[in-house]
Amino acid sequence: MPQEPLGDRDTYDVLGVGFGPANLALAIAVAEHNARPDVTPLRSLFLERQPRFGWHRGMLIDDATMQVSFLKDLVTLRNPTSDFSFLAYLHSSDRLVDFINQKSLFPLRVEFHDYLEWAAARFTDEVRYGHEVVEATTPDGTHFDVTARRADGTTTTVRARNLVFGVGLTPHLPPGATLSERVWHNRDLLDRVELLRRSTSYAPPVRFAVVGAGQSAAEVTKYLHDSFPHAEVCGVFSRYGYSPSDDSPFANRVFDPDAVDHFYGAPPEVKQLIMSYHANTNYSVVDTDLIEELYRRVYQEKVLGTRRLRLFNVSRVVETVETGDGVRATVESLATHEKAVLDCDVLVYATGYRPRDPLSLLGEAAALCERDETGRPLVSREYRVETSRELMAGLYLQGYTEHTHGISSSLLSTTAVRAGQILDSIATRVPARLAVTR
């Protein structure tokens, strides 16, 4: 059925595509902006394809902790007095004193997710869950008409002067790998384990294989080793061993808000050096405590003669074949080229994530976006995509800016500050209004 034309009264100042931590931080920034008496209020809306708020639910392992300080929450680095802070959440949950007494900067991941849900629950009027954005067009260059599809297949269109993409990352798999009931990505770990436990079609698992050398791979290995005490868990990775993450104070400066300024203004060769020097703060690295725990288990089992945790280092999976009751994985040593065949009940790829180009949603309008010689979008310091003059509406990226803004682009560390910078950029371009109906 044709939809009614959209007029100016139906136009949002801010339309967020995705409602994870990044756009949640932006929603908070907009709300605090609108609470000020001396500014023009902004109309905002966020479209999220999930049926409810969720952030890496598949990896909310009970004893897993955050790798980032609670002070780098949704607001504190932008507005330390905000009542959307993690400390405000703890106070509302009557756990502030208890949290202080444990003397830790790093909350449980489950607890931090609960904090995010607590904050997201205060924006029920501004978020439409179960709405997947499938297209964004710009009829005259001054705004976008954004079409979202609901779970029942119906669509709705909303209009906005500014789009803010916060679409997150997509799971990465090695070439040729395909997910199935027996081949998982760690993104789905807890749901898959629950289905496996409840299934009456399969015998209890005897062997798992986990591919990957980063934090998630190590966490999955430990979790499966804990959860299935009669099963063997095999870790497969191309490194000699798990590498520790560098979370020392000086190295952590690469995640400071000021570091974004330094990175953005640096020449390309310096950008590359910074990324190379500090990759070990985030990529394919593991917390030292977890490395030591896994090593302790390997050694203890060697002493006891009951080896359930096996690590295939300097190795790779070269072939997988699904059988009637599992997966047959062929693991090859990179050093000797010797091969081992592992008959597994489940193979888990903990092989990370990759950014996706959100501008692909723009269709023909994507041609109006400026790109560098490798096809990546050119982005201003305030995260606005550089466009040709025909496109006056704003396009902002939360993520997919590592090449311009550095290593923290898809991480929590600068989320609060980035949201404030995007808000300021949008607010300076919005026409003044006497009143707004929200």
User: Once rounded to an integer, what is the mean pLDDT over residues 58-63?
Assistant: 96
> For residue 162, what pLDDT band results from cuts at 50, 70 and 90?
very high
Find residue 235's DSSP bridge partners.
Answer: 210, 311
User: Once rounded to an integer, what is the mean pLDDT over residues 119-140?
Assistant: 96
Q: Measured at the alpha carbon of residue 42, what is the angle toward residues 422 and 410, in degrees to the nearest 5?
A: 25
> Looking at the predicted structure, is the pLDDT value of residue 356 above 90?
no
- Top-level class of domain 8-168+356-427: alpha beta
User: Once rounded to an integer, what is the mean pLDDT over residues 162-186?
Assistant: 95
> What is the structure's pLDDT at 432?
63
The residue among 403 and 3 whose pLDDT is bigger is 403
Residue tagged 């976006």 (tokens): 369
Altogether, the residues listed in the chain come to a count of: 438
**Which H or E element spans position 355?**
strand 353-355
| pLDDT tens figures, 291-327 | 999 999 999 999 999 999 999 999 999 999 999 889 9
Find residue 342's DSSP bridge partners.
Answer: 329
Measured CA to CA in angstroms, residue 334 lies from 183, 234, 242, 248, 338 at distances of: 23, 17, 16, 32, 8
> What is the structure's pLDDT at 171?
95
User: Once rounded to an integer, what is the mean pLDDT over residues 139-155?
Assistant: 95
Residue tagged 């709405």 (tokens): 131
User: Once rounded to an integer, what is the mean pLDDT over residues 407-418?
Assistant: 95
Cβ(165)–Cβ(395) below 8 Å: yes
Whole-angstrom distance, CA of residue 295 vs CA of residue 241: 10
Q: Which two tokens stand for residue 284?
A: 């394919």
> For residue 128, what pLDDT band results from cuts at 50, 70 and 90?
very high
> For residue 225, what pLDDT band results from cuts at 50, 70 and 90?
very high
> What is the structure's pLDDT at 201?
74
Cβ density class 234-269: b for 16+ within 10 Å, e for less:
bbbbeeeebbebbbeeeebebbebebbeebeeeeee
> What is the structure's pLDDT at 6?
43
Q: Which two tokens stand for residue 95?
A: 């756990």
> For residue 3, what pLDDT band results from cuts at 50, 70 and 90?
very low
> Looking at the predicted structure, is the pLDDT value of residue 209 above 50?
yes
> Looking at the predicted structure, is the pLDDT value of residue 188 above 80?
yes
Query: Could you give the 3-state DSSP secondary structure of residue 305?
Result: coil
Cβ(423)–Cβ(26) below 8 Å: yes
- Top-level class of domain 171-244+283-349: alpha beta
> For residue 429, what pLDDT band results from cuts at 50, 70 and 90?
confident
> For residue 384, what pLDDT band results from cuts at 50, 70 and 90?
very high
Cβ(49)–Cβ(15) below 8 Å: no
> What is the structure's pLDDT at 2?
39
Whole-angstrom distance, CA of residue 394 vs CA of residue 14: 9
Which residues, 6+ apart, have CB-to-CB distance to 232 below 8 Å? 206, 207, 208, 307, 308, 309, 310
Cβ(61)–Cβ(109) below 8 Å: yes
> What is the structure's pLDDT at 199?
82
pTM of the model: 0.94
User: Once rounded to an integer, what is the mean pLDDT over residues 347-372?
Assistant: 93
Q: Where are the domains of the chain?
A: 8-168+356-427, 171-244+283-349
User: Once rounded to an integer, what is the mean pLDDT over residues 420-427?
Assistant: 97
> For residue 383, what pLDDT band results from cuts at 50, 70 and 90?
very high
> What is the structure's pLDDT at 1?
35
Classify the C-alpha dihedral 17-27-145-150 as positive or negative: positive
Q: Are domains 8-168+356-427 and 171-244+283-349 of this chain identical in fold?
A: yes
Which phi-psi region, left, alpha or beta, contains residue 374 (left: φ > 0; alpha: ψ -120 to 50)? alpha
Measured CA to CA in angstroms, residue 13 lies from 25, 338, 417 at distances of: 16, 60, 20
Where do runs of H (alpha helix) occur along 248-392? 257-265, 268-277, 288-304
**What values do phi and psi take at 156, rounded to 5?**
-140, 150
Q: Which of 89-103, 198-212, 245-259, 335-349 has the lowest mean pLDDT?
A: 198-212
Half-sphere CA count of 346, side-chain side, radius 13 A? 28
Give the DSSP letter string of 127-183.
Answer: EEETEEEEEEE-SSSS-EEEEEEETTS-EEEEEESEEEE---EEE---TT----SSE
Query: Residue 271's Cα: distance from chain center in Å?
Result: 22
> What is the structure's pLDDT at 7?
44
Mean pLDDT across the chain = 94
Whole-angstrom distance, CA of residue 133 vs CA of residue 349: 28
> What is the structure's pLDDT at 9?
54
Q: Which amino acid is at 74?
A: L
User: Once rounded to an integer, what is the mean pLDDT over residues 174-200?
Assistant: 93
> For residue 167, what pLDDT band results from cuts at 50, 70 and 90?
very high
Cβ(242)–Cβ(218) below 8 Å: yes
| pLDDT tens figures, 240-296 | 999 999 999 999 999 999 999 999 999 999 999 999 999 999 999 999 999 999 999
The residue among 326 and 9 whose pLDDT is bigger is 326
> For residue 433, what pLDDT band results from cuts at 50, 70 and 90?
low
Nearest CA-CA partner of 295 in 244, 228, 351, 229: 244
> What is the structure's pLDDT at 437?
41
Query: Could you give the 3-state DSSP secondary structure of residue 336?
Result: coil
User: Once rounded to an integer, what is the mean pLDDT over residues 410-430?
Assistant: 95
Whole-angstrom distance, CA of residue 259 vs CA of residue 279: 15
| pLDDT tens figures, 97-109 | 999 999 999 999 9
> For residue 144, what pLDDT band results from cuts at 50, 70 and 90?
very high
